[in-house]
Structure 1
Amino acid sequence: MDIDKKVLGQRIKNIRVNRQETMEQFAKKLNSGKSNVSKWESGKNVPNDITLKKIAELGGVSTHHLTRPETHERVKQLVEKLEEDTNVDKRYKELYDINFKYNLIKEVTDIIEGQSTDSKNEHYKGMNFDADNVVLEIIRNKIYDSDKTQKYKPFNKRNTIWFVTEQINAMKYDIARILKDNNVSEELINNIVDELSQTQSNIEEL
């Protein structure tokens, strides 16, 4: 991803200010000059790799943290990276819907910045959002969930029952297969599958 000089400059300034150092004091720690620090902080220039590493160490962060885009832009770039892989996973075709793509970027951005008020996103709290693979996994989950539920929308009573019964139907075969692979007795497997089928029938009658 390309470095946003303005964003990088603000992050460098934040590190210096948090350390309560003047530009001169900060520059001295980096074996550099005040004018260089001024250019970095204003986004007119960027430090070389060695200096960038020293700045990251002074701030107690990674160089990746310093150079990555702002959250919204970062999520947008990761979403577009998946959009290019539609030939690999057809579910990414969801991203062709501009509204879905926009809402996805906003929702994942809110999750990372801790602004999501949706209870279904609670389990994402405390994750390491610094890692792109973690953010990509959240994005994929949102795309897959949408793809899996698309045919049932809107979730009125009829479609909700349809969704639940189909999930139970798929689940009982997965359960039977896993139990069989783990040498569970056939009698017990059949009893469990029968109970799930009964539950499925009960829900269909709602």
Structure 2
Amino acid sequence: MKNQIIGERIKNIRLSRGMTLEKFGALFGAAKGNASKWEKGESLPNPERIKAIAEFANITIEELTSHVDNLNSPQIVGQKIKTIRLDSGLTMEQFGKLFNTSKGTVNNWEKGRNLPNKENLGIISEMGGQSVTELLNGNNSISLTISEYNRLKDIEQKFKEINKIISD
């Protein structure tokens, strides 16, 4: 499982830079097939390559190799994209028009079926006030849409009312 998590992170790093497997592997002195195996979690890069990949992504080795949380799974990235879209007050169709794509493609991004290209990731990141690395690798913060936040405030208010009734 840990290898798959690291593999997903490596893949997200490569995709965020718009690189092919061949170019990414070559950057670290590895064949395309090796890079593919890293991304699938079938094998891991050696320690020198892990360090080089982390430096390339401007993250720590711990952020690349930690298995505590799978913050950059495609589904998590998709949820972040959805949050950014909703916080912007846009429908899937409107969001798609910003990127010259369909609402079906936006739906696929939000479900984690695939990721936007490098250029679109950059635009989405800016819309969310974060870097591409934060979007793909997480920053351990909880992000709520405005409607989710308002719902939590409503629940909090109801909770206070119930506590007041109980304590009287």
| Higher gyration radius (CA) | 1
TM-score, scaled relative to structure 1:
0.36
Kindly indicate whether structure 1 or structure 2 has the higher relative contact order, using CA contacts under 8 Å at least 6 residues apart.
2
TM-score, scaled relative to structure 2:
0.44
